[in-house]
Amino acid sequence: MIIALDVDGVLVDCNTSIREYAQKLLKRQLPAVNDWKDFAFPAAMKMTFEEGLLFHESIVTDSTLPYSFSWYPGATDFVHGLLDAGHDVFFLTSHWSGYPEWVTARERMLHLEFPYLDVVFTHSKQRAQFNLLLDDKPSTIATVGSERGRLLDRPWNRPAQSMFNPYIIVNDYAEFMKRV
């Protein structure tokens, strides 16, 4: 099976570093990542409109931040497990537009651990060819369709889960492994 894996929020924790960055920038405490109830960073961290603008303007000038992200516990084992099971795996990730280091840092991180796997950067994931995509963004899964998309349960996509929706949700890596 051809399996596409989203990176941020699925395999790699960018949120912890981004929250720390935002706290320094805004000089105040922001909601913990596990309490985020929205996919968009400003809404998840309950920023005012002005704070959100400042956040977006500032963060793209930070060339070191994207290098500070780390794999979620069990993430690399999960990918190795899919490969060992004979699946054709690649990374399918949306780059942060206007943030050059985002792509460079992401490629470097993925390449160091999985030098032979492809990384596809796109904002139109539905155009890529795969049998199954694991992603944490509800709108992406909605675009891809429930036949090809699986939504990984995360705090920031739970409000979307509770609405009427077409998502097939998986709770963790182990559940995804069992179902493929």
- Please, what's the largest Cα pairwise distance for the chain? 49
Q: What are 180's two structure tokens?
A: 């493929």
149 near Mg ion, judged by CB under 5 A: no
Nearer residue to Mg ion within complex by CB, 4 or 6: 6
9 near Mg ion, judged by CB under 5 A: yes
With beta carbons less than 8 A apart as the criterion, state whether 146 and 47 touch: no
In 3D, which of 163, 120, 150 has the Cα closest to residue 10? 150
Q: Which residue is nearest to Mg ion (CB)?
A: 9
Residue choice 3, 4, 6, 66 for contact with Mg ion (CB under 5 A)? 6
Distance, in Å, from the CA atom of 61 to the CA atom of 154, rounded to the nearest integer, reads 28
With beta carbons less than 8 A apart as the criterion, state whether 112 and 12 touch: no
Nearer residue to Mg ion within complex by CB, 26 or 152: 152
CB-neighbour burial class of residue 61 (10 A; exposed 0-12, middle 13-18, buried 19+): exposed
Provide the pairing of β-strand 70-71 with 12-13. Answer: antiparallel
Q: Which of residues 59-98 bind Mg ion (CB under 5 A)?
A: none
Distance in Å, CB of 66 to Mg ion, minimum: 14
Distance in Å, CB of 75 to Mg ion, minimum: 12
Nearer residue to Mg ion within complex by CB, 48 or 98: 98
**Three-state SS at 174:** helix
Residue choice 3, 4, 5, 8 for contact with Mg ion (CB under 5 A)? 8
Nearer residue to Mg ion within complex by CB, 55 or 136: 136
**Three-state SS at 8:** strand
Contact flags string 104-143 toward Mg ion, x per CB under 5 A: --------------------------------x-------
Residues near Mg ion (CB under 5 A) are 6, 8-9, 136
